[in-house]
Amino acid sequence: MASLFEKVSVLISANLHAMVDQALKSNSMAVIDQYVRQVEENLEDLEDAAATVGGEAKSLKRKLTDLEQKEDELDRAIDAFLTEGNDAAAVAAQSRLNSTQRLVETYREQFKRQENEFQKLLDAKVKLEARLATMKQQREELQALLELARSKETTVKAIKSLDDLMGSGDSDIERIAESIRTRLDKATTASEMRAANLDKQMDEVLDRGVLNAQLAERKKKLGITD
C-alpha cells in the first residue's frame, strides 16, 4: 500500500505547467498522454485498494459489534450468578469477560486503522481525479494550440516560398507567384464573407424566433388560434 501511495503522491505533486511547456517545446502530446495514462492506471489501483480496505473495515466492524454484544451478555450474567450465590459460575463468566474485553480492544484498534487507511485512499482518489480532470482539460487546450501553431507554420512556409519566387528574377515565375497570392487573398476574403454571412443569418433567425415567440404569446392572451 505504501508504494501505491508513493506513486499517487508523485502524480499529485507533478508540475503540470512544466509538462505543458515541455509538450509545447517538443510540439508533441506524448508527455501529456503518458501522464494521463499513469493517472488512470493508478486510479484503478486506488479504487481496487479502497474497495478491499473498506470491505475489511466492514468485516471488523461487524465482528466488533458481535463481541461488544457478547461483552454485555457476560457482564449481565456475572451479576446474575453473584445474585444467585453461584460464585463458581461468576468466576468462569468473569474470566470469559476479561478475554472478550481484550479481544474487543484488539478489534477496535484494527478497525480504527482500517478506517483511517480507507479514508486516506478515498482522499487520494479525490485528489487524483481532480488532477486528471485538470490535465485532460489542459490537454484539449494544448492540442488546439499545437494545431494552430502547425497551421501558422504551414502558412508561413507557403508565404516564404512565394516570397522566394517573387525574388527569383524570372518574370514568368513572378507572375505565377503573384497569381497564387491573388488567389490566396481571394479565397481568404471569400471565407471571411461566408463566415460574416453565416453570422448575419444566425442573427436573423434568432431575432425572428424571438419575434415569433412574442407574437404567439400575444395571440394566446387574445384567444386567437391559428
Total domains in the fold of the chain: 1
How far is residue 200's CA from residue 194's CA, in Å, rounded to a whole number? 10
Instruction: State the pLDDT confidence band at 67, using cuts at 50, 70 and 90.
Output: very high
Confidence band for 219, pLDDT divided at 50, 70 and 90: confident
Q: Is residue 28 part of a domain?
A: yes
- Residue 167: which pLDDT band, with cuts at 50, 70 and 90? low
What is the per-residue pLDDT across 182-204, written as a single tens digit (0 to 9) for each? 666 666 666 556 555 555 555 55
> Residue 204: inside a domain, yes or no?
no
Q: Give the pLDDT band of residue 221 (cuts 50, 70, 90).
A: confident
Q: Is residue 41 part of a domain?
A: yes
Residue 209 in domain: no
| CATH assignment at residue 26 | 1.10.287.1490
Per-residue model confidence (pLDDT) at position 19: 82
Q: For the ranges 67-71, 125-129, 161-165, which has the lowest average pLDDT? A: 161-165
Q: Which grid coordinates belong to 160?
A: 516564404
Amino acid at 163: D
pTM confidence score:
0.59
Residue pair 132/12 in contact by the 8 Å Cβ criterion = no
181 is a domain residue: no
220 occurs within a structural domain: no
Residue 29 inside a domain? The answer is: yes
With respect to residue 56, please indicate whether it lies within any of the assigned structural domains.
yes
What is the extent of the structural domain holding 144?
A: 2-166
**Residue 47: which residues within 8 A CB-CB, separation 6 or more?**
125
Alpha helix segments (H runs only) across 167-226: 171-222
